[in-house]
Amino acid sequence: MPNLRFTTKPLSDWMRGSAADSEIVISSRVRIARNLQHIPFPMLATNSQSEEVLDKLTAVLDDEEAHQFGHFHILKMAELSDLDKRVLVEKHLISPNLASESRNGAALISEDESVSIMVNEEDHLRIQCLYPGFQVKEAWERATALDDVFEAHAEYAFDDKRGYLTSCPTNVGTGLRASVMMHLPALSMTQQINRILSAVSQVGLTVRGIYGEGSEAIGNLFQISNQITLGQTELEIIENLHSVVMQIISQERTARQRLLSESRLRISDRIMRSYGILKHAAIMDAKEAGQRLSDVRLGIDLGILQEPSIPVLNELNVMIQPGFLQKTFNDQMHASERDMYRAQLIRTTLGTTP
């Protein structure tokens, strides 16, 4: 029976930690893609071949060198309900591809959920490390150390000219995808966001929504990651992302101070209105909830509001998602019903009597 505690609690333990620049950078993530030599990539592998990959990679965690990374729980996709898989996607512990299209797919998740190793996703192996705040370098160090453990026990598909071989050409080379989740409300309010995000794309980075490629940037949350994996070293990729993000952090802080100095009453009114609506609304769709929570988070960071706490806001960002709502209320629901339950959950979490 799979361990379903990962789908019943909204906030991963790693998200409770504090880190530098966490008022703007919500989280940092590094993902490394690898494939095994002499076994077809997942899209072409037979059932027995994908089983072999799963057995081989899960066995690595029994090695003494892997114990430094803590205990891992094995969640096989075939043993999970569609709802549980959706919740894992909403918590960023697995990808939509692993949830819907994998054969003998599994996620090996650490106790605090800061490491998620996906097996038989688009590639045989995807190592993901998550950290709170702006800790992309720390996430990289942990991910590459874990990669070394796997590489000591499994021969990777590697080409001397092209580097690590992957199913998608955009990952060939280092196989590295480093990203940060940034909260940029002031740049959005001062209408600077489009100019900045356009500039980001000119330096080998890309901007996505909260669930990666094809997703919408809701609640002023933007995922910024490297676009190039070939022709640069891993450290060059990390340093480029780090440098650009530092500049965006500086511009967001400047924009926040500008809002306070030039429009303090107006921004305070917006923040307090959003907080009041969250505490008393009877219905609320996901987009509005995301925007209102963004306003409240900004209010906390600017000292305009003293509550709720940032961990509560982080919890709510997961709890208001469709899968987690359905999991919480144990009920199939239409969109209109989700809006009602979402508002109820927000009121309850913020301590307002329904």
159 bridge partner residues: 163
Residue 87 counted as an annotated binding residue = no
DSSP 173: B
Residue 177 counted as an annotated binding residue = yes
Q: Which of 349, 350, 326, 311 is nearest to 341 (CA)?
A: 326
Residue 117 counted as an annotated binding residue = no
Half-sphere exposure (CA, 13 Å, Cβ side) for 192? 15
Residue 294 counted as an annotated binding residue = no
Residue 100 counted as an annotated binding residue = no
Q: Are 120 and 103 in contact (CB under 8 A)?
A: yes
Residue 15 counted as an annotated binding residue = no
Residue 30 counted as an annotated binding residue = yes
Residue 27 counted as an annotated binding residue = yes
Q: Is the dihedral of CA 191, 216, 278, 94 positive or negative?
A: negative
Residue 29 counted as an annotated binding residue = yes
Q: Which of 325, 319, 327 is nearest to 337 (CA)?
A: 325
Alpha helices in the chain (DSSP H): 47-60, 82-90, 96-101, 136-151, 185-189, 193-200, 234-280, 286-302, 310-319, 322-329, 335-349
Q: Are 88 and 99 in contact (CB under 8 A)?
A: yes
Q: Is 166 left (phi over 0), alpha (psi -120 to 50) or beta?
A: beta
Residue 303 counted as an annotated binding residue = no
Residue whose tokens read 């509001």: 305
Residue 200 counted as an annotated binding residue = no
Residue 126 counted as an annotated binding residue = yes
Residue 28 counted as an annotated binding residue = yes
Residue 1 counted as an annotated binding residue = no
Residue 162 counted as an annotated binding residue = no
Residue 290 counted as an annotated binding residue = no
Annotated binding site for ATP: 27-31, 92, 126, 177-181, 208-213
Q: Which residues are annotated as a binding site?
A: 27-31, 92, 126, 177-181, 208-213
